[in-house]
């Protein structure tokens, strides 16, 4: 078992990268929509570290911990195997930094690579297993980001590892997640707009089986695995008993919109970063994901 001290040097490197704008000392394993995933201490791990937004108060961190534990337990109780994960804390001068730490998966064990190397039968079985999880887990109170890039194989078993955003809601549809914590990575001038017009719809898609399947399918274009989209639809239309069948046109439209929304948010965050660093001469506090090569 590693101790708290092990991750302080990583945070030190991250802070140096943030202050200097030079991220070359960091080993980036992958990009999500929110941040970068870093390998530590070596370029291949053994740890994959996901830096959460800085916690300004102890009760916020305690609340996150509780939601995180609850989310993992909920998914497990529905039969989703969760990749071994823990929260590591690094106190800093202006708040508490927390990392979600997991063993690194081999690049060849990540969902998109697995599908890329699969036969027709194996690929179908993989997508079918993910759609089964959508069918059993996704509900108005439990969200799942089922895209292929959030799954991997450990000892030939399908595991889910994207648990940094514990998506749980109460029976009135209110997010239990501290959404403001994640909003803090957006420039202040954008927050009211995103809060009002975007946040609900971004999160909603994870709480509705049809939308989760559409997202899984549409993201295959990003991975250049678009040839599997019809298989996802066939499986989803049947397993999720959809009244309105999913279609390729819908997936393409959805993907273009998704690309625009995230592209816009990303650009705004970069603009804000330059403003903070070059004009205000203040260190920027978030590790932004690199550019994703999206095409359709």
Ligand X SMILES: Nc1ncnc2c1ncn2[C@@H]1O[C@H](COP(=O)(O)OP(=O)(O)O)[C@@H](O)[C@H]1O
Residues lying near ligand X in the complex (CB under 6 A): 29-30, 32-35, 37, 48, 50, 83, 102, 104-105, 110, 149-150, 161-162, 164
User: How far, in Å, are 18, 51, 156, 183, 238 from residue 15 at the CA level?
Assistant: 5, 11, 37, 20, 49
Residue from 36, 67, 104, 150 in contact with Mg ion (CB under 5 A) = 150
- Beta-carbon contacts of 16 under 8 Å, excluding residues fewer than 6 positions away, are 25
Nearer to ligand X, 67 or 104 (CB): 104
Nearer to ligand X, 30 or 41 (CB): 30
Shortest Cβ 146–Mg ion spacing (Å): 10
Nearer to Mg ion, 216 or 236 (CB): 216
Q: Is residue 101 a contact partner of residue 181, using CB atoms and an 8 Å limit? A: no
Region for 173 from its dihedrals, namely left if φ exceeds 0, alpha if ψ lies in -120 to 50, beta otherwise: left
The pair phi, psi for residue 23, each rounded to 5°, is -100, 15
Q: Which residues pair with 36 in a beta bridge?
A: 31
Residue from 162, 215, 258, 272 in contact with Mg ion (CB under 5 A) = 162
Residue from 30, 32, 187, 230 in contact with Mg ion (CB under 5 A) = 32
Q: Which residues pair with 153 in a beta bridge?
A: 158
Find which of Mg ion, ligand X, none residue 30 binds, CB within 5 to 8 Å per kind. Answer: ligand X
- Please tell me whether residue 258 binds Mg ion under the rule CB under 5 A: no
Chain centroid offset of residue 267 CA: 18
With CB atoms as reference, the residue minimizing the distance to ligand X is 32
Shortest Cβ 177–ligand X spacing (Å): 13
Give contact residues for Mg ion (rule: CB under 5 A). 32, 150, 162
């Amino acid at each position: 078992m590693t101790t708290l001290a092990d991750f302080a040097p990583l945070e030190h490197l991250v802070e140096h990268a943030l202050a200097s704008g030079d991220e070359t000392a960091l080993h980036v394993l992958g990009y999500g929509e929110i941040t970068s995933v870093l390998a530590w201490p070596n370029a291949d791990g053994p740890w994959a570290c996901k830096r959460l937004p800085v916690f300004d108060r102890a009760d916020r961190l305690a609340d996150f911990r509780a939601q995180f534990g609850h989310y993992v337990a909920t998914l497990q109780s529905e039969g989703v195997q969760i990749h071994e994960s823990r929260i590591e804390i690094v106190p800093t001068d202006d708040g508490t930094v927390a990392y979600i730490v997991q063993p690194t998966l081999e690049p060849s064990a990540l969902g998109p690579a697995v599908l890329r190397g699969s036969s027709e039968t194996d690929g179908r079985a993989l997508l079918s297993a993910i759609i089964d999880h959508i069918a059993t887990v996704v509900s108005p109170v439990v969200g799942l980001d089922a895209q292929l890039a959030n799954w991997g194989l450990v000892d030939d078993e399908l595991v889910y590892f994207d648990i940094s955003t514990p998506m749980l809601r109460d029976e009135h549809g209110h997010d239990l997640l501290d959404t403001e914590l994640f909003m803090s990575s957006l420039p202040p001038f954008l927050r009211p707009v995103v809060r009002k017009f975007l946040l609900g719809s971004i999160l909603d898609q994870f709480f509705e089986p049809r939308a989760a399947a559409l997202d899984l399918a549409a993201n295959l274009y990003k991975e250049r695995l678009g040839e599997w989209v019809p298989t996802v639809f066939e499986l989803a239309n049947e397993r999720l008993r959809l009244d309105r069948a999913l279609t390729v046109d819908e997936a393409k439209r959805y993907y273009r919109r998704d690309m625009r929304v995230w592209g816009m948010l990303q650009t705004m965050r970069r603009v804000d970063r330059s403003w903070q660093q070059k004009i205000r001469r203040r260190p920027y506090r978030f590790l932004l994901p690199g550019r994703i090569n999206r095409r359709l």
